[in-house]
Amino acid sequence: MAPNFAQRGGTTNTTVVYVIDDDESMQASLSNLLRSVGLRVETFASPQAFIEFKKSNVPSCLILDVRLPGENGLSFQQEMITHGLHMPILFMTGYGDMQMCVRAMKAGALDFFPKPFRDQDMLDAVTQALARDSQRLAAEESIASLRTAYASLTEREQQVMALVSAGLMNKQIAAEMRLSEITVKVYRGQLMRKMMARSVADLVRKAEALRIESSHEKTL
User: What are the structural domains, with CATH classification, of the chain?
Assistant: 5-145 (3.40.50.2300), 152-218 (1.10.10.10)
| pTM of the predicted model over 0.85 | no
Q: Do residues 185 and 145 make contact, with C-beta atoms less than 8 angstroms apart? A: no
Answer yes or no: is pLDDT of 42 > 50.
Answer: yes
Chain centroid to CA 216: how far? 32
Decide if 18 contacts 34 (C-beta within 8 A). no
Greater confidence (70 vs 174) lies with: 174
pLDDT at 216 over 70: no
Give yes or no for a contact between 116 and 92, defined as CB atoms under 8 angstroms apart: no
- Of 113-117, 193-197, 200-204, the one with minimum mean pLDDT is 113-117
Encode pLDDT of 135-172 as tens digits.
999 998 899 999 999 999 999 999 999 999 999 999 99
Q: Which of 49-63, 83-97, 101-115, 204-218 is predicted most confidently?
A: 49-63
CA distance 181 to 111: 56
pLDDT tens digits, one per residue of 92-133: 987 766 677 778 888 788 888 888 899 999 999 999 999 999
User: Mean pLDDT score of the chain, rounded to an integer?
Assistant: 87
- Say what the pLDDT of residue 103 is: 80
